Structure 1
Amino acid sequence: MTINDINTTLDEGIMQISKWWTCPSGYENLQEEAHVVGKNELLSRASISDQESMYPRESLKAIADAGFGAVTVPAEYGGLDAGFTGFSVLAESFAQYCASSAMCWVMHTAATQTLFESGNEEQRQRYIPGVIKGDVGGLAFSEPATGGHFWNVVSSATRKGDGYLLNADKSFVTSAGEADWYVLCTNYHDAPQEDKLTFLIVHNDQDGIECFPFNAMGLRGNSSGPMKFKDVFVPTENRLGTEGGMNYYNENTVDPLFLLGTASCWVGVAQGALNAAIDSAKKKVHADTGKSVADYQVIRHELAKGQILVDSARSMLYRTAEGLDKCAQEGLPISEHLFPLWQIKTHAADIVIQVTNQALQVSGGKGYLTGQVEKYLRDGRAGAVMGPTNEILREWIGRTLIQVPWFE
């Protein structure tokens, strides 16, 4: 928009939405670049990915080619070094166009940062260059035996020669069978410390790995199906950190990026649905009245209520991200600041259900047909049941408020 366009708009009395209200200061260019990728690359493939349950490989490659393959990795390693805030801005922007692509990218980013922070220099040099070029990482954490309590795993790895023999059943693994490698969470029972959690890097083409189809209500391109690891040999060089003791990275790296990233996706999905509803309401004209759908006050009020909900979640989202960046800069443990992450994940997963329902209602019968708005509704419904579920998070929030230990 040029200066003349802005002046004309102001002369016509049209209120402009301030950029600072929709994007943290200093991240405007990053947001604009993300929207270019979303419009040119993600949107055109989103419906095909959904209808055919097709993994969004081309879209993920386009995201990497745009420079967003290692967004939280320091610049000296070729990453973008954009921190929690940049990560959140990108995830929210991508999700407005394709929730499956955004969610796969969020999990990939969390896996990449976990490898970077808990791994050694040799592992960083071995994996980060590939990530920058488009290799995809995944997180294999949740297990059928413990459901949404993904931090509790019952699987184990035992010593075998210069490595480990892994046996694990994993339930929801985003990019299952599609990622190039996974950070897998398991137990090493012979670990000397009480914390037995151990992280192993497992390659997708290793013997003993079996993947199963993913057929879900929404996020159908995610390939978030179960995986089985039977007698998979993992060499010692592919262990991240120590034998046991990895709960530190679970609380300081995995959880923060996972909660912030998924919350960003739900805000983006809600905004995308609302944008689609606004566009439809402005274009649809009733022949009998000569009015567009947007000309009806009740419609405008529903749109307003939806946008207020989205902006309330977005404000929490970016305040949380900026706070986490400040913690990181000051060397404070992120695990001591999980409270706002619990809140924003819960709030974002709640409002996306309401806003996508409002967007469908505004769109009328057309919105109920298979299409963009209907897809946003199905995609967004995953948030509240994705572990930690909103019920678990509300319990943690409530226990914190009455000043008792949140985790027992």
Structure 2
Amino acid sequence: MSYAPIQRLLPDDESVELISLTRSLVDREIRPVIADLDAEAHFPRDVFRILGRSGLLGLPYPESLGGGGLPYEVYLQVLEEIASGSASVGVGVSVHALSCFGLFTAGTDEQRSNWLPTMLAGDQLGAYCLSESHAGSDPASMRTTAVRDGDHYVINGAKAWTTHGGKADFYKVMARTSDEGGRGISCFLVAADTPGLTADPPERKMGLMSSTTSTMLFEDVHIPAHRRLGAEGQGLSIALAGLDAGRLGIAAVATGLAQEALNVAIAYAKDRRAFGKPVIEHQGLGFLLADMAAAVESARATYIAAARLKDAGKPFSRQASIAKLVCTDNAMKVTTDAVQVLGGAGYTKDFPAERFMREAKVMQIFEGTNQIQRLVISRDLAR
């Protein structure tokens, strides 16, 4: 089903063309297959290769390193378009960008030039290992260790909730190198084929079925010291800095998901008739759709405002948390209301509305739960 394009204000004609290219690619490569991918819980690695070859996996990174050199304001709107076709793929693109972030910000020139171009081209798909089963919202309590042994580190432990776990080509891993709490954590770039690194069977999830999520197991995983990013003890600051950008990514994904749910609901409400006219013309349903549209557009405005602060080099942590909170809460409401608009049909798998609702729930949980976002926002206000 085809929908009218979103009216966007973009900084230049090249950005307009990029959005149009992305929408065409999503219509051609993602929308026709996503229902089957979700039903089969199949990870669409080929889709990420297509996105990489199209230059869409490295948009916010410099052209000199193989990226697109675009501002976050544009990158996030591209990400929203991708997520409107598949929330699973949208989350994957956001996680991949987050997995490259530590290398870009904390890596040496040699590390960046050696590894980043293939990552941004999509030849290497990334994953991000921060959370543990007992340390999600409190990453400073992680127990995975990295012990120095000559010119290597030996990593032991387990990392939970890893998007692309068992499918990625590299993992950005936070591990404890000392007992100094949050100051004792370091960051490593671990190749997927490193001996001792394995993945548990994928989690059996409520939604995002074509996005593989697994616990990664580290058993005497030997990592050359040159694969540490930044100094020892800098890992948590690298992780948290990346999460600000990652939260904007999830905000954009949630907005794309909500927009797609709204599109489906509008199309159904125009086609379905009751009491002699399309149901969209009945005030009860029309007002519900109006509230859904307001939620989607306010979400979009919120993440774009935060992105513009980031692009201007200004502090944006609080605004990133606000965007993640607003966009994901709105996505949960919009997708739930989309099921309501479709009525009994919305509760069946014959329509995608129920999938949208299942996918929206996790948006309120990962990249920091929305309760954690409220904590970040309130602490910033207290300062």
| TM-score (normalizing by structure 2) | 0.92
Query: 253, 256, 275: which one pairs with 2:244?
Result: 256
Query: 314, 339, 343: which one pairs with 2:300?
Result: 314
- Specify whether residues 151 and 372 from structure 1 end up closer, same or farther in structure 2 by C-alpha distance, changes over 3 A only: farther
Q: 2:169 is matched by which residue type in structure 1?
A: D
1:69 to 2:57 alignment: yes
1:182 to 2:171 alignment: yes
Query: 337, 341, 350: which one pairs with 1:358?
Result: 337
Q: 2:304 is matched by which residue type in structure 1?
A: Y
- Specify whether residues 319 and 24 from structure 1 end up closer, same or farther in structure 2 by C-alpha distance, changes over 3 A only: farther
Is the 1:294–1:300 contact (alpha carbons within 8 Å) kept by the matching residues of 2? yes
Q: Name the counterpart of 1:295.
A: 281
How much does 1:17 deviate? Answer: 9.4
1:140 to 2:120 alignment: no
Is the 1:156–1:166 contact (alpha carbons within 8 Å) kept by the matching residues of 2? yes
1:395 to 2:366 alignment: no
Is the 2:173–2:187 contact (alpha carbons within 8 Å) kept by the matching residues of 1? yes
Distance (whole Å) between structure 2 residues aligned to residue 187 and residue 74 of structure 1: 31
Q: 2:366 is matched by which residue type in structure 1?
A: M
Is the 2:247–2:367 contact (alpha carbons within 8 Å) kept by the matching residues of 1? no
Q: Name the counterpart of 1:230.
A: 219
- Residues 371-401 of structure 1 deviation map (CA, whole Å, 9 limit, x = unaligned): 3111111101111122411112212322333
Which sits farther off after the overlay, 309-318 or 83-92?
83-92
Q: Name the counterpart of 1:117.
A: 105
How much does 1:292 deviate? Answer: 2.6
How much does 1:230 deviate? Answer: 1.0
Distance (whole Å) between structure 2 residues aligned to residue 300 and residue 139 of structure 1: 42
How much does 1:205 deviate? Answer: 1.6
Give structure 2 stretches of 5+ with no counterpart: none
1:340 to 2:329 alignment: no
Q: Name the counterpart of 1:11.
A: none
Which sits farther off after the overlay, 262-271 or 132-141?
132-141
- Specify whether residues 385 and 248 from structure 1 end up closer, same or farther in structure 2 by C-alpha distance, changes over 3 A only: closer
1:215 to 2:204 alignment: yes
Secondary structure of 2:368's counterpart equals coil
Q: Name the counterpart of 1:197.
A: 185
Query: 340, 343, 353: which one pairs with 1:373?
Result: 353
- Residues 6-59 of structure 1 deviation map (CA, whole Å, 9 limit, x = unaligned): xxxxxxxxxx9983xx34433322222221121111212211221111112122
- Specify whether residues 365 and 261 from structure 1 end up closer, same or farther in structure 2 by C-alpha distance, changes over 3 A only: same
Q: What percentage of aligned pairs have identical amino acids? A: 27
Is the 2:142–2:176 contact (alpha carbons within 8 Å) kept by the matching residues of 1? yes
What is the aligned residue count? 375
Secondary structure of 2:105's counterpart equals helix
Distance (whole Å) between structure 2 residues aligned to residue 96 and residue 152 of structure 1: 36
Is the 1:69–1:134 contact (alpha carbons within 8 Å) kept by the matching residues of 2? no
Secondary structure of 1:382's counterpart equals helix
How much does 1:302 deviate? Answer: 1.2
- Specify whether residues 17 and 219 from structure 1 end up closer, same or farther in structure 2 by C-alpha distance, changes over 3 A only: closer
Distance (whole Å) between structure 2 residues aligned to residue 23 and residue 359 of structure 1: 26
| TM-score (normalizing by structure 1) | 0.87
1:84 to 2:68 alignment: no
- Residues 301-350 of structure 1 deviation map (CA, whole Å, 9 limit, x = unaligned): 111110001111111110110111001xxxx5xxx431111111111111
Q: Name the counterpart of 1:4.
A: none
Give structure 1 stretches of 5+ with no counterpart: 1-15
Q: 1:316 is matched by which residue type in structure 2?
A: T
Is the 1:150–1:387 contact (alpha carbons within 8 Å) kept by the matching residues of 2? no
Which sits farther off after the overlay, 174-183 or 290-299?
290-299
Which sits farther off after the overlay, 27-36 or 159-168?
27-36
Is the 1:141–1:151 contact (alpha carbons within 8 Å) kept by the matching residues of 2? no
- Specify whether residues 69 and 162 from structure 1 end up closer, same or farther in structure 2 by C-alpha distance, changes over 3 A only: same
Is the 1:55–1:222 contact (alpha carbons within 8 Å) kept by the matching residues of 2? yes
- Specify whether residues 219 and 346 from structure 1 end up closer, same or farther in structure 2 by C-alpha distance, changes over 3 A only: same
Is the 1:74–1:81 contact (alpha carbons within 8 Å) kept by the matching residues of 2? yes
Secondary structure of 1:95's counterpart equals helix
Q: 1:348 is matched by which residue type in structure 2?
A: C
Which runs of structure 2 are paired with 1:9-28 in the superposition (5 Å)? 19=7, 22-26=8-12, 27-28=15-16
Is the 1:24–1:318 contact (alpha carbons within 8 Å) kept by the matching residues of 2? no
- Specify whether residues 150 and 394 from structure 1 end up closer, same or farther in structure 2 by C-alpha distance, changes over 3 A only: same
Is the 1:23–1:89 contact (alpha carbons within 8 Å) kept by the matching residues of 2? no
Q: 1:350 is matched by which residue type in structure 2?
A: D
- Residues 127-160 of structure 1 deviation map (CA, whole Å, 9 limit, x = unaligned): 2232214321111111112123345422110012
1:305 to 2:276 alignment: no
Distance (whole Å) between structure 2 residues aligned to residue 42 and residue 308 of structure 1: 27
Is the 2:187–2:234 contact (alpha carbons within 8 Å) kept by the matching residues of 1? no
- Specify whether residues 163 and 104 from structure 1 end up closer, same or farther in structure 2 by C-alpha distance, changes over 3 A only: same
